[in-house]
């Protein structure tokens, strides 16, 4: 009697070739799967991603330039320790230092330094009165008594640069911290028109730079004109024999290092403008537009 037909693989006797290959294929598949990289990075890898760290450092450069530019321009305006024009008594203690918004003076034969308060309408008269007793002839009349236009332009340039920073800061914040919560109207405006904020910040920064350059050059030329007139008046007083009469002495003047701060501030403002243009060229605003905020109702 013949045995019934077998329709499946026979488990009796010697195993077939297919049965030997199945475990090998399974082992190879498991080995290949273990070698594939994980599609989801761990939180630690996301936190210390070198690309994100490099991007954060580059994006922080405009903020650093903004803060440095504001600090330098403000220092150039309000300080008098680095004057724009300095007049020193030869062989004495008298001196007068002209800043942008104020001045300081030391009376001859004294060591007390008197400074005027900072103001847009700078009044240098108190400082001139303090040193007038040591100046021969009418030399004191050839020094600036007050200044208004230059100080106004300097202050306007600083205000424009600060305004540029206020336009740039929100888009910079949303670019680097997309989940930041801001007032709803501002968020809507930033999400729909981030490019406008970049463009306005860039335009204001560029205008501020032009103002600082132009008024810096103009104010330096003005100080040089006063210095030349003062030296000419001293020469005429010396030729007339007025030096030494009534305690008057010779004085020496020079343009001070205050303009170095002006040029440094101009450089930082210019670099900030370039940095904003780089952000525009890289289309950083597109990341702000594409970010989806589920809690924001457009």
For the residues of 273-289, what is the DSSP string, one character each?
A: HHHHHHHHHTTTHHHHH
Check residues 154 and 44 and name the one with the higher pLDDT.
Answer: 154
pLDDT band (50, 70, 90) for residue 36: very low
Does the predicted model carry a pTM greater than 0.85? Answer: no
Say how far apart CA 220 and CA 96 lie, in whole Å: 17
CB 180 within 8 A of CB 173: yes
| Across 55-68, average pLDDT | 83
Token pair 């800061």 in the structure block, residue = 169
Cite the DSSP H helix spans in the chain.
17-35, 43-47, 50-78, 125-131, 149-176, 184-192, 194-239, 258-281, 285-290
Q: How far is CA 180 from the centre of its chain?
A: 23
Mean pLDDT, the chain, integer: 79
User: Which of 296, 289, 128, 111 lies closest to 198 in space, CA to CA?
Assistant: 289
User: Would you call 252 helix, strand, or coil by DSSP?
Assistant: strand
What's 294's DSSP letter?
T
Q: What is the pLDDT of residues 92-104, one digit of tens each?
A: 889 999 999 999 9
DSSP assignment of 111-122, as one string? --EEEPPP-SSE
Q: Which pair of tokens denotes residue 169?
A: 């800061």
Q: What is the pLDDT of residues 179-209, one digit of tens each?
A: 777 777 777 776 777 778 888 898 999 999 9
**CB neighbour list of residue 142: distance below 8 Å, 6 or more residues apart:** 226, 229, 230, 232, 233
CB 86 within 8 A of CB 254: yes
Q: What is the pLDDT of residues 210-269, one digit of tens each?
A: 999 999 999 999 999 999 999 999 988 888 888 877 778 889 989 989 999 999 999 999
> CA distances (Å), 122 to each of 22, 79, 118, 260, in order?
94, 13, 7, 20
User: Which of 8, 3, 34, 4 lies closest to 19 in space, CA to CA?
Assistant: 8
| Across 131-144, average pLDDT | 88
Check residues 191 and 31 and name the one with the higher pLDDT.
Answer: 191
Please, what's the largest Cα pairwise distance for the chain? 153
Say how far apart CA 156 and CA 135 lie, in whole Å: 35
CB 76 within 8 A of CB 101: no
**CB neighbour list of residue 287: distance below 8 Å, 6 or more residues apart:** 175, 178
CB 266 within 8 A of CB 69: no
């Amino acid at each position: 009697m013949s045995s019934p037909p077998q329709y499946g693989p026979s488990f009796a006797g010697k195993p077939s070739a297919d049965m030997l290959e199945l475990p090998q294929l399974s082992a190879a598949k498991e080995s290949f799967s273990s070698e594939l990289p994980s599609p989801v990075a761990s939180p630690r890898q996301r936190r210390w991603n070198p690309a994100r760290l490099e991007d954060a450092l580059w994006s922080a450069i405009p903020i650093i330039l903004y803060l440095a530019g504001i600090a330098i321009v403000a220092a150039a305006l309000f300080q008098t320790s680095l004057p724009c024009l300095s007049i020193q008594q030869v062989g004495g203690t008298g001196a007068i230092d002209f800043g942008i918004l104020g001045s300081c003076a030391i009376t001859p034969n004294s060591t007390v330094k008197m400074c005027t308060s900072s103001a847009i309408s700078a009044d240098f008269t108190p400082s001139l009165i303090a040193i007038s007793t040591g100046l021969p002839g009418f030399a004191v009349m050839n020094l600036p008594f007050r200044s208004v236009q230059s100080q106004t332009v300097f202050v306007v340039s600083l205000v424009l640069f600060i305004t540029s920073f206020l336009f740039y800061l929100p888009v910079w914040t949303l670019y680097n911290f997309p989940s930041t919560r801001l007032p709803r109207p501002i968020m809507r405006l930033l999400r729909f028109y981030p490019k406008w904020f970049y463009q306005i910040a860039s335009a204001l920064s560029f205008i501020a730079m032009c103002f600082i350059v132009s008024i810096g050059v103009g104010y330096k030329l003005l100080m040089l004109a006063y210095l030349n007139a003062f030296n000419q008046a001293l020469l005429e007083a010396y030729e007339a024999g007025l030096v030494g009469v009534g305690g008057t002495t010779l004085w020496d003047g020079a343009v001070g290092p205050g303009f170095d701060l002006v040029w440094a501030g101009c450089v930082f403002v210019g670099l900030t403008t370039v940095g904003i243009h780089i952000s525009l060229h890289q289309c950083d605003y597109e990341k702000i537009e594409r970010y989806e905020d589920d809690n924001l109702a457009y």
